[in-house]
Amino acid sequence: MIGLFGGTFNPIHYGHLRAAEELREMFPLEKVVFIPANNPPLKRDALAPSHHRFEMTRLAITGNTDFVLSDIESKSEEASYTVNTIGEMKRQYPGDTICFVLGLDAFLEMPKWFKADEILVNVKLLVMTRPPIPMEKIKDSPYIDKDNIRMNDRLSQIRLKNGRHLSVAHITPHNISSTEIRQSIMEGRTIKYLLPESVESYIINNELYKIR
Ligand code: ATP
């Protein structure tokens, strides 16, 4: 099984990396494919240029042979739509089971996504805990069959209204966000130990996220 991990990665941090590594071990996933978005329609706030986010992701996953970087979204000029990316990745990995990895915050936003219903049919979702949101919040999603929820285990299956299932993974919570990192940079505070040193150096050398 291959996990697709999409995100703005603006910048990538240890919250992303540790989550991906725990999920890989838990399922297990053969590979986690990191897919930095070029032009995400719903996340344009303080967005570093696509080539910088791609390069930071490359630096962050260097050395982990189970992690792969895809330029499928970053190379395109058009808005990144997950539904299209999943279709393309299924063609790139024929014969493999593909699943789409996302945090609870992102899953709760899914009703705003382009063709979200199609995504739910085309691919298995792996939803992971994303602090500070309590996992019970998943009941707020319009896609969930609320009569069939049992989530006591580290890894559980939840039935969707469309009859399919998604996996819910309780990973170790790391309350790190790109927003908080960008904020710290703007305020001149340290970002050490929130992200790999190689990414920190890249941010400093390229003067990213500073007020201009
Ligand atoms: P921002 O603060 O700019 O909104 P972010 O930190 O949420 O960014 P994204 O690149 O938007 O990072 O996230 C990509 C995916 O990774 C999403 O599915 C998100 O839920 C998940 N994710 C991000 N940070 C964490 C974390 N600390 N723990 C678990 N999942 C995370």
Nearest residue CA, atom 13 of ligand 1? 7
Cα 32 to middle of ligand 1, angstroms: 15
Q: How do residues 82-97 score in pLDDT, each as one tens digit?
A: 999 999 999 999 999 9
Nearest CA to ligand 1 atom 7: 177
Residue 32 and residue 66 in contact, taking contact as beta carbons nearer than 8 Å: yes
Best of 8, 82, 110 for a ligand 1 pocket test (most atoms within 8 Å of beta carbon): 8
- Our CA angle for 107, 10, 189, nearest 5°, is 120
Q: Write out the DSSP string of 64-104.
A: -TTEEE--TTTT-SSPP-HHHHHHHHHHHSTTS-EEEEEEH
Rounded to an integer, what distance in angstroms lies between the CA atom of residue 82 and that of residue 119?
Answer: 8
- Give the predicted TM-score (pTM) of the model: 0.96
Q: pLDDT tens digits, residue range 32-67?
A: 999 999 877 776 778 999 999 999 999 999 999 999
How many angstroms is it from 7 CA to the middle of ligand 1? 7
Q: Give 114-144 pLDDT, tens digit per residue.
A: 999 999 999 999 999 999 999 889 999 999 9
